[in-house]
Structure 1
Amino acid sequence: MSKTALIIIDMINTYDHKDAELLLPSAESVVPVISDLAERARRRSVPVIYVNDNFGEWRSHHGELLDNALAGPHAHLVEPLRPDEDSLFVLKTRHSVFYDTPLQYLLHQQDIERLVLCGQVTEQCVLYSALDAHIRHFDVIVPKDAVAPIHEDLARAALRMMERNMGARVCTSQDLWV
C-alpha cells in the first residue's frame, strides 16, 4: 500500500491580500473539514505537511507566519488548523507546493507516494500543485469539500481538470481514512 501524506496548502493566512474578501466565505466552510482531516490523519500516523506561502516575507519563518495569522482579524480560521509538534512545514514562494521548495525531497525521504491536497485556492495553488505532483509521479487525491475557491466556476473546472487530465481522485473528505 502506498504511503500517504496530507498536504495543507496556504491555510496559515492573514487574509490581507487581493481577492481575500472573495476567498473568506469558502475558507470559512473548509476550515472545519481540513481540521477534521488533519486530526484523522494524525490518528492514523499519516504525515501532515503544511506548505504555505511566505507572502513575500523573505526573513520570516513558519512560526512568525503562524503568529501573524493568529494575531490578525481572521485568527478563527487559523486556530483550528494550528500545526502540532509532529507537523512538518514548508514555505513556498509561488503557487505550486513544489516550485523552489524542498517538498519533493522531503516526500521521497519519507517514502510518500500519495498526496491528499487540501487548502486554498482550488483554482490556483491546489490546481498547480496537483499538476506538479502528477508530473512527479505522485498519486493525487483532492477532497473537494476541503479546498477553498475564489471563483466557484473556475474551481469546478479545476477539479475536473485534476480528475480528467491528471488522474487525480476527486472525492469528499469522508471518503478518506474510513
Structure 2
Amino acid sequence: MARTALVVIDMLNAYEHEDAEALVPSVREALPGVEELLRRARGAGAPVIYVNDNFGRWRSHHGEILEAALAGRHPDLVKTIAPDEESLFVVKARHSAFFETPLAYLLGQLGVRRVVLCGQVTEQCILYSALDARIRHFDVSLAPEAVAHIDADLADAALRMMEHNMSVRVRPLDALTFDSAEPDA
C-alpha cells in the first residue's frame, strides 16, 4: 500500500535574510497548521521529512541548521515544529525540495506515493517543490493554512496554479489525512 509523507519545507529558519520581516507575520499564521500536520502525521505513523536550506553553510548538518534557527531572530517560530528523533532530514541548496537532493530516492525507499507539503515560502519553495513532485509522479496535497508567504497576491496565484495546472490537492487543513487508503476529499 502506498504511503503518505509529510514534507516540511524551510521551517528551520533564523530569519536573517532580506525578506524575513515580510515573511514572519505569515509564518506566525501558518505555524498552527504546520503543528497540526506534524501532530497528525506522527500520530498516523507517517514519515516526516524536513527539507531545509543550508543557508550557504556547506559543512552544516541538520543539528547545526536547527541550532542556528533556534539562535536566530525568531526562535518561537522554530521551537514548536523542531524535528523529533524519528524525523528524517534532507538538506537543499535551491528552491525545490527535489532539485539535486536525495528526496525522491528517500520517498521511493519508504514506499511513499503521496506527499503533503507544508512550510515556506508558498510562491517560491512550495511552488517549485510541488512542481518537481508532480514531475516525479507523486500525488501532492497541501493546506493553505500550513504554508507561509512573502507576497500574498503571488501566494494566491501560486496556490491557484498548483491546483489547476499541476493537479495539486489544495484542501482545507481539516480535509487532509495521512491515511493512504483515503486521499483528500
TM-score by length of 2: 0.94
SS in 1 for 2:160: helix
User: Does residue 57 of structure 1 match 2:57?
Assistant: yes
Alpha-carbon distance, 1:170 to partner: 0.2
In structure 1, the partner of 2:164 is 164
Counterpart of 2:169, as a letter, is R
Alpha-carbon distance, 1:177 to partner: 2.5
Q: After the TM superposition, which segments of 4 or more aligned residues of structure 1 sit over 3 Å from their partners?
A: none
In structure 1, the partner of 2:118 is 118
Alignment check: 8 A CA contact 1:32 1:80 kept: no
- 5 Å-filtered alignment, 1:24-103, equals 24-103=24-103
SS in 1 for 2:78: helix
Q: Give the length in aligned residue pairs.
A: 178
Counterpart of 1:101, as a letter, is T
In structure 1, the partner of 2:151 is 151
**CA–CA distance in structure 1, aligned partners of residues 125 and 177 of structure 2:** 24
Alignment check: 8 A CA contact 2:16 2:73 kept: no
The CA deviation string for residues 54-111 of structure 1, in whole angstroms up to 9 with x for no partner, is 0010011110010111122200000000100000000000000001100010000011
**CA–CA distance in structure 2, aligned partners of residues 30 and 156 of structure 1:** 14
RMSD over equivalenced CA pairs, Å? 1.0
Q: Gaps spanning 5+ residues in structure 1: where?
A: none
Alpha-carbon distance, 1:2 to partner: 3.2
Alpha-carbon distance, 1:154 to partner: 0.4
**CA–CA distance in structure 2, aligned partners of residues 83 and 175 of structure 1:** 24
Counterpart of 1:8, as a letter, is V
Counterpart of 1:177, as a letter, is T
The CA deviation string for residues 34-71 of structure 1, in whole angstroms up to 9 with x for no partner, is 01110111000011100000001001111001011112
Counterpart of 1:162, as a letter, is M
**CA–CA distance in structure 2, aligned partners of residues 131 and 153 of structure 1:** 19
Aligned residues: percent identity?
Answer: 61
